[in-house]
Amino acid sequence: MKTWIPESRNFAYLTWKQVDALPRESTLLVLPTAAIEQHGHHLPLATDTLINNLLLGKALALLPPELPVFALPPVCYGKSNEHIGFPGTLSVSAQTFLAVVRDIGASVAAGGFKKLALYNTHGGNTSLVDVLARDLRAEFGLRTFSLFGSVGAPFEGVSQQERSYGFHAGEIETAYLLHATPELVRTDDYTANYIARIERPELLKPEGSPANFAWLTKDISPSGVLGDPTEATAANGERWSDEAATRIAEALTAMVRFEPRHGA
């Protein structure tokens, strides 16, 4: 898989002796979580994993060399059962995902490290990452942090409809890949589908509201796209990824410096 993680910040490139020499209290290890799943006719299965790697790699490149932050190899397989029925989607169950990340957290704690950040770029993993962050804190005493997607980057120029319901393989993901891996984007095979419209405010929403309905992509979108990629540009992908990377770098810096008010 293509990577943008600076070699000097790639944990898996270290020897155990180099790991042993890292400051245990302050070193922050970042575990990327993503997915291998259908992304419509025009984007590759690895889209969420590539975006994770791109944004985290750019963020790590912004950090001063003395800040002890390292990227762990990603958990590429996620809970993607919303995309079952599309060949190529490789999903793990919630139980498997929880067990894998928990075991990695246990290994990090066993190595004497105190700080772990979970950086997730696949929506289907989000609620599991929330559970894991607290459980790793409670069970192993790790200072656990979580980061999601583009970390609140503003996406200037994106329509309100796309912002609200461009869930999957829409303008933003397509722009990121047009910037990062244009050879993997089939620009002659765009499709658009929306799960809901902002001008029709039904009581039940697909997510993020007090009353939701559980959705499967195949119920809504024959192509697998939830959003509209047609306005995506490489220039926006570059600008948005730089803005997201700045936010991620700021968050990682805050995590390294984080001192709890009470306790160990």
Nearest distance in Å: CB 94, Zn ion: 18
DSSP string of 112-124? T--EEEEEE--GG
* 124-143 residues near Zn ion, rule: CB under 5 A: none
Q: Is 181 helix (H, G, I), strand (E, B) or coil?
A: coil
CB contact at 8 A, 51 and 120 = no
Nearest distance in Å: CB 189, Zn ion: 16
Structure tokens at 152: 């609140």
Nearest distance in Å: CB 51, Zn ion: 7
**27 or 80: CB nearest Zn ion:** 80
**108 or 153: CB nearest Zn ion:** 153
Structure tokens at 56: 């985290």
Nearest distance in Å: CB 262, Zn ion: 39
Nearest distance in Å: CB 154, Zn ion: 19
Q: How many residues bind Zn ion (CB under 5 A)?
A: 2
Nearest distance in Å: CB 169, Zn ion: 6
**143 or 168: CB nearest Zn ion:** 168
**27 or 120: CB nearest Zn ion:** 120
For residue 80, CA distances in Å to 7, 32, 48, 120, 128 come to: 30, 16, 11, 13, 12
**28 or 118: CB nearest Zn ion:** 118
Task: Give residue 109's region: left, alpha or beta (phi > 0; psi -120 to 50).
Answer: alpha
Q: Is 79 helix (H, G, I), strand (E, B) or coil?
A: coil
* C-alpha dihedral (77, 148, 100, 264), degrees to nearest 10: 170
**47 or 241: CB nearest Zn ion:** 47
Helices (H), 40-183: 47-62, 94-110, 126-140, 160-165, 171-180
When binding is defined by CB under 5 A, the residue of 4, 11, 27, 48 that contacts Zn ion is 48
CB contact at 8 A, 54 and 180 = yes
Angle between helices 234-257 and 47-62 (to 10 degrees): 60
* 8-47 residues near Zn ion, rule: CB under 5 A: 47
Phi, psi of 119 (to 5 degrees): -115, 105
**48 or 171: CB nearest Zn ion:** 48
**14 or 234: CB nearest Zn ion:** 234
Give residue number: closest CB to Zn ion.
48
CB contact at 8 A, 49 and 137 = no
Nearest distance in Å: CB 11, Zn ion: 24
Nearest distance in Å: CB 229, Zn ion: 11
Residues in contact with Zn ion by CB under 5 A are: 47-48
